[in-house]
Structure formats: structure tokens, C-alpha cells
């Protein structure tokens, strides 16, 4: 059954091309000073929104260069690479890298999720550049002088069996976005990145290809592919 997505306000409906419908399966609305997506179905999780003032965001920011993400991206005391996050989603990793001093461009293919991320970035006063569009096309279009040092990928893979371990945001993304073409993204990223491609994977998941380096956290792994271009 096709899911229905609606907007609670005329301005949102016009901006995103959504019907004005508060009875849809998912409703985009402003509430509590933020833009949020609410699942109206029975036994639904709470609303989805972007909040970079949360405890988790602060913890990741304060951990700084010790984070496996920062080490994988090549962040050092005197090195702050430019980063293209080609699978931005809700922007958590992009925001962490920007907080560490990296110049970050975030790409998101879904207008709905880009709107949620834009709202969160604006409320946080972030200078991350957000681009709505197809990541493979965007990377292929970049002239040599504009190519980033690092391309970061956190691709959506086929839906996992639903368990309590699947977070609320992942439930929303699996239902509304579906999987990415990880193979195409990876190929485009390797042609685009000046220095390296970083791929985020569950810690025990197979690699897309044998990496040059890997940095593990408790639940995820960052595979690093040096491009040297």
C-alpha cells in the first residue's frame, strides 16, 4: 500500500508539492518551534525532527578528534578537510564534522528530509551548505577545483528485520526513502574525492570493497578508501 504524505500548512504544501492533508499517514507540520514529520498511524513512533542541541549531538561534538568518524575523515590538529556528505539524511555526521571545523556540503535526495534538515541547521545557526538533488549527478558535475577532500557515504541498505534496536529515525527513513544505490554512490565518490572516501557501515557488515583503513566504534565502522587524486 502506498503511503500518503501530507502537510498541515498551505506554505509547506506549496513548498514541497504535498497535499494539504492532516489525515495522511505522515504529516509535515510546525510544532514546538520546529519542523517535524508525524506518523499518524496506530502504534507509531514519536515525531521525527532534527535537533542539534540534543545531548547526543553535544557528546559527539565534545569528543572531537577522538571520534572514529573524525579519524576516518582525516581530521587532525592542523588539518580540517573539506567534506561532501553525499547521503546527508538528518545530518548528524555532517554536523559533527562541521563542529570540528570542516567545511561541509550536505547532499540529500529527498525534499522532505532536506526540509527537516534545513530547519535543524537554521535553528542551530550552522553554516553547512545543504543541496537537494541526486548525489551521483552532483558529484559528476563538480569541476576539479570544487572537488572535496573527502566524500562521506552512509548509504541506506535493504530494510532489516524490525527489532527494538531499529531507531525511530531509521524506521522513518526505511519506509519513506528506501535503499540507496550503494554501488553507484561508491563509484561516483571515488571519482570525486581528492583524498579519500569514507563509508559508514554496521560494525559487522561486509565491506563495499577492501578498504585502506577502518575505524571501529561500538556499533558502526568507518571504511576509508584513499584516492590520492
CATH number for position 203: 3.40.50.150
**167: CB partners within 8 A, 6+ apart:** none
Say if residue 25 is in the same domain as residue 136. no
Per the domain annotation, does 187 fall within a domain?
Answer: yes
Q: Are residues 74 and 101 in the same domain?
A: yes
Beta bridge partners of 47: none
Cell of 11: 506554505
Residue 136, Cβ neighbours under 10 Å: how many?
20
Statement to judge: residues 22 and 59 lie in one domain:
no
Three-class SS state of 185? helix
Same domain, yes or no: 30 and 142: no
The reported pLDDT for the residue numbered 77 is 87
**pLDDT at site 44:** 84
Q: What is the pLDDT of residue 1?
A: 60
- Indicate if 108 and 167 belong to the same structural domain: yes
Rounded Cα gap, residues 172 and 9, in angstroms: 21
The answer to whether residues 204 and 123 belong to one domain is: yes
Reduced to 3 DSSP states, what percent helix, strand and coil does the chain have, rounded to the nearest 5?
Answer: 35, 25, 40
Q: How many domains does the chain have?
A: 2
69 in a structural domain: yes
Is 50 inside any structural domain?
no
Residues 59, 25, single domain; the answer is no
Which residue range forms the structural domain that includes residue 21? Answer: 5-39
Do 31 and 79 share a structural domain? no
Same domain for 201 and 95: yes
pTM, 2 dp: 0.91
Q: Classify 30 as helix, strand or coil.
A: strand
Average pLDDT along the chain, 229 residues, taken 10 residues at a time: 90 97 97 96 90 69 76 94 97 94 96 97 96 97 96 79 57 82 96 98 93 94 91
Same domain for 177 and 115?
yes
**152 and 94 in one domain?**
yes
- Residue 166 confidence (pLDDT): 46
Instruction: Say if residue 21 is in the same domain as residue 87.
Output: no
Amino acid at each position: 500500500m502506498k503511503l500518503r504524505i501530507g502537510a498541515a500548512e498551505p506554505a509547506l504544501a506549496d513548498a514541497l508539492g504535498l497535499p494539504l492533508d492532516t489525515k495522511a499517514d505522515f504529516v509535515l507540520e510546525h510544532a514546538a518551534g520546529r519542523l517535524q514529520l508525524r506518523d499518524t498511524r496506530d502504534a507509531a513512533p514519536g515525531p521525527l525532527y532534527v535537533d542539534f542541541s540534543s545531548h547526543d549531538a553535544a557528546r559527539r561534538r565534545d569528543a572531537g578528534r577522538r571520534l572514529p568518524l573524525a579519524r576516518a575523515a582525516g581530521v587532525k590538529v592542523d588539518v580540517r578537510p573539506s567534506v561532501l556528505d553525499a547521503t546527508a539524511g538528518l545530518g548528524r555526521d555532517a554536523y559533527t564534522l562541521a563542529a570540528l571545523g570542516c567545511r561541509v556540503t550536505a547532499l540529500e535526495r529527498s525534499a522532505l528530509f532536506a526540509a527537516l534538515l534545513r530547519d535543524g541547521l537554521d535553528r542551530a545557526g550552522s553554516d553547512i551548505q545543504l543541496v537537494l538533488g541526486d548525489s551521483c549527478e552532483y558529484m559528476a558535475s563538480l569541476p576539479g577545483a570544487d572537488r572535496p577532500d573527502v566524500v562521506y557515504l552512509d548509504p541506506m541498505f535493504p530494510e532489516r528485520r524490525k527489532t527494538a534496536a531499529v531507531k525511530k529515525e531509521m524506521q522513518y527513513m526505511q519506509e519513506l526513502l528506501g535503499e540507496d544505490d550503494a554501488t553507484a554512490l561508491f563509484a561516483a565518490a571515488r571519482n570525486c574525492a581528492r583524498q579519500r572516501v569514507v563509508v559508514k557501515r554496521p560494525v559487522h557488515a561486509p565491506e563495499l570493497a577492501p578498504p585502506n583503513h577502518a575505524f571501529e566504534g561500538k556499533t558502526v565502522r568507518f571504511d576509508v578508501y584513499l584516492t590520492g587524486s
